[in-house]
Amino acid sequence: TCGRGRATGWCRGCPAPTRTILDRVSCKTTRVTLRLQLLLFQLLLALAVLAMAGFVWLATSTMVDRIARVHVSHQQVEAALELDGSFNRFSEQLAELLVFGPAGRAEQGPDLASARARVVADLDRLQRIGEAELATLDDPLEREAESIEAVRSVRLRQLFTDLESATDEILRLDKAG
């Protein structure tokens, strides 16, 4: 028997070993250890649940950011398609004005000015959406890659301004004879 009168075998806190598990569990120092083991197991389980919850939160927030970026990209494509249509309408109106002259165009109404206004509005929208897309990016490498689109938008606006200047010059020369 051990120092507490139990069967021989190893028992924590007892000088002599105990033979059975039941004898070991019945030892008061072992019960504290068992409680400690249960507490550690619960703590480990709680940490695992917290780690999984953190992973789910991280994955969800990343997916929300990606979904927002995809939404902005869809808006950007839609704006580019609308800008394409506006440019087509502007060029059509300009071609009619150059072919038929201001007198022939007057019958159909002043569509060149509205086509210009629509192109400018679409250019503004495309630029705003591009800036919104840049605002959704956190990674500097992605920002740098997407900033090329902002440069293209500015260049597109500059080309349209040059086209407007050339159109105004042609119309001025046409009026002068």
Phi and psi torsions of 176, nearest 5° = -70, -20
Q: What is the pLDDT of residues 21-52, one digit of tens each?
A: 555 555 555 555 888 888 999 999 999 999 99
Band of the pLDDT at 6, cuts 50, 70, 90?
low
CB 27 within 8 A of CB 15: no
> Which residue would you say has higher pLDDT here, 135 or 20?
135
pTM equals 0.62
CB 75 within 8 A of CB 129: yes
User: 18 by DSSP, 3-state: which?
Assistant: strand
| pLDDT value for 141 | 86
**For the CA atoms of 96, 97, 102, 104, what is the dihedral angle to 10 degrees?**
0
| pLDDT value for 11 | 54
